[in-house]
Amino acid sequence: MREVLFIAFSLFTIGAASGVLLSRNPVYSAFSLILSFFGLSGLYLLWGSTFMAMIQILIYTGAIVVLFVFVVMLLNLQTNRENSSNIVFLGVVSASVWLFSLIILRVLTRSIPNKILEIPENQLRTISKLLFTRYLWPFEILSFFLLVMIIAIFAITRTQEIAHGGEK
Amino acid sequence: MEWTDLIITAVKTAVIYLGMVQVVPIMLIVERRGAALMQDRPGPNRVGPFGLFQPIADVIKMMMKEVTVPRQVNKALFLLGPFLVLFPASLVIAALPFGDYFTLLGRDYLLQVANIDVGILYVLAIGSLGIYGILFGGWASNNKFSLIGAMRSSSQIISYEIPLGLAACSAVLWYGSFSLREMVYTQEGTFLGILPNWGFFYQPIGFLLFFIAAFAETNRLPFDLPETEAELVAGFHTEYGPMDFGTFFMAEYMNMATMSGLMVAMYFGGWHLPWVSDVTLLQWLGSRNLLAALQVVTVIVKISVFMLMFVWVRWTLPRFRFDQLMRLAWRNLIPIGLINLVITALIMYFRSAQ
């Protein structure tokens, strides 16, 4: 049962993810992205991590992709292929092939754990403890980076607004 | 899991879901009669006694009308839109606790479809998906009014999810649990000897934030900017035919019921009656199943009070302007939510230090 569900969710996720790349219409791509995130959270649920599954939906599907869709619709992107030149296309393809072969190499050279990792009884408590003790510095530095980025974006957009004489 | 368990779970799911769907016709008549009451006019009172059969007439009208799909729309996403709204609205009901448990054939069954240990995250996560139906539906309609309505809806819902989440965070911190059931268990008994031990008395600011954000999340007046008829015809559902519109309508009322259910479970003691503990009630009634029935009635009454408040607010307050709406969320509600969170954390810290 578990294996069947695992394969079903994996195939669903991969199918949806390839839909993101293959569809011409950016809105369809965004829709496939939502579906693939759902597949991922299904996999998390299968591994018994309800918290991760819910966070996956809450943050990625519920917030980030909404912004993607928002921008796509606001800019009213047309479905034209002339934008992407051959060189860019080649670059993307070679980068993907290179990354994919790296992953394959990594998988082949390392021993794969044969059992499913133990999920602790109280996942939330375990995750929070790790975040605030062992991974405190990476956590804080990452959040600091995010803050810096928000301020940077704000500064860039505001200076352009001021340069164009817009005042608010 | 035995076969009986499976059957009872299926029956439980069907009963709770169909029960929640009944909110729609009831609210149809309550809203129209409520509006009439506030505007000092009779309202729909012709069909059946006191106009009680009006919802049936409304639904028959919607079903009988010709289904039209405009020619300029993106057909797949256009038809998917209403269902993408209704689907999450139906799913979130699973996490709401309606009572403790009932006994059948010597086994105990929870009065809840699924007792999820991160219940509140589940409700927030699945509840935030309803926006996609509005976004895709509005975009696929290929109409400027629909698109603007969809855009407004998405920015509004994303903005108000933050105060909603902050209020929920404070509540989670206070109860020390993500599970709605655990929260309700903690709210038994009295506070200071006089007040019921409800979350509202510990988290009044959190409740206020949650209450305001709930209106924005369900696209209700005074925050119904996505469908302002004065400026956007009907917003995201301008191009939709009879029953598609009906589906959006259903989802809106079901979302209201879920939000009310959440507020009841988080801030108003869930199935607990004030001043009486479950043990005393069990002694009076003498039967576990009678107590379960009483608990379900309690939850339904509490939810109904909130539904009436939704109607009351709708016909009392005028609509916000869009910039006012955004300013309210980002400049007022979010700072208040953060302060509330910090205060709650400090109280919890000093309480545990003692």
Q: pLDDT tens-digit profile of B215-226?
A: 888 888 788 777
C-alpha to C-alpha distance for B353 and A27, rounded to whole angstroms: 52
Please provide residue A119's backbone torsions phi and psi, each rounded to the nearest 5 degrees.
-95, 120
* Shared domain check, A45 and A25: yes
B123 min Cα distance to partner chain A (Å): 9
CATH, residue A21: 1.20.120.1200
Q: How many CB pairs under 8 A join A and B?
A: 62
* Shared domain check, A101 and A20: yes
Domain count, chain A: 2
* Shared domain check, A90 and A166: no
**B102 CB neighbour count, 10 Å cutoff:** 21
B46 min Cα distance to partner chain A (Å): 44
Give the model's pLDDT for residue B11: 87
Q: What is the ipTM of this complex?
A: 0.76
Is B129 in Cβ contact with A67 (below 8 Å)?
no
Give the model's pLDDT for residue A147: 92
Q: Which residue has the higher pLDDT, A35 or B5?
A: A35
C-alpha to C-alpha distance for A25 and A76, rounded to whole angstroms: 11
A85 min Cα distance to partner chain B (Å): 28
Q: Among residues 26-85 of chain A, which lie with CB inside 8 Å of chain B?
A: 27, 31, 34, 50-51, 54-55, 57-58, 61-63, 66-67, 69-70, 73-74
* Shared domain check, A120 and A145: no
Is A63 in Cβ contact with B128 (below 8 Å)?
yes
Tokens of B43: 């309202």
B45 min Cα distance to partner chain A (Å): 42
Provide the pLDDT confidence category of residue A168 given band limits of 50, 70 and 90. very low
Give the model's pLDDT for residue A92: 82
Give pTM, 2 decimals. Answer: 0.83
Query: Nearest Cα to B289, choosing from B78, B49, B67, B111?
Result: B111
* Shared domain check, A57 and A78: yes
Region A150-167: mean pLDDT is 70
Q: B42 to each of B27, B35, B36, how far by Cα in Å?
A: 17, 9, 6
Q: pLDDT tens-digit profile of B188-247?
A: 877 777 777 888 888 889 899 999 998 888 888 788 777 777 777 777 777 787 888 888
CB B203 within 8 A of CB B269: no
Q: List chain A residues with CB under 8 Å of B217.
A: none
User: Residue ranges of chain B with pLDDT lower than 50?
Assistant: none
* Shared domain check, A13 and A33: yes
* Shared domain check, A104 and A91: yes
Region A76-83: mean pLDDT is 57
Q: pLDDT tens-digit profile of A81-91?
A: 555 567 777 88
* Shared domain check, A111 and A31: yes
* Shared domain check, A7 and A39: yes
- B139 and chain A: CB distance < 8 Å anywhere? yes
Q: Which domain holds residue A123?
A: 2-134
Tokens of B78: 């256009």
- B207 and chain A: CB distance < 8 Å anywhere? no
- B84 and chain A: CB distance < 8 Å anywhere? no
* Shared domain check, A24 and A14: yes
Q: Among residues 114-133 of chain A, which lie with CB inside 8 Å of chain B?
A: 124
* Shared domain check, A162 and A100: no
Query: Nearest Cα to B165, choosing from A69, A144, A128, A55?
Result: A55
- B147 and chain A: CB distance < 8 Å anywhere? yes
Q: pLDDT tens-digit profile of B138-161?
A: 888 888 888 888 888 888 888 888
Give the model's pLDDT for residue A85: 67
Helix (H, G, I), strand (E, B) or coil at B81: helix
Q: pLDDT tens-digit profile of B132-142?
A: 888 888 888 88
* Shared domain check, A152 and A125: no
- B317 and chain A: CB distance < 8 Å anywhere? no
Give the model's pLDDT for residue B342: 92
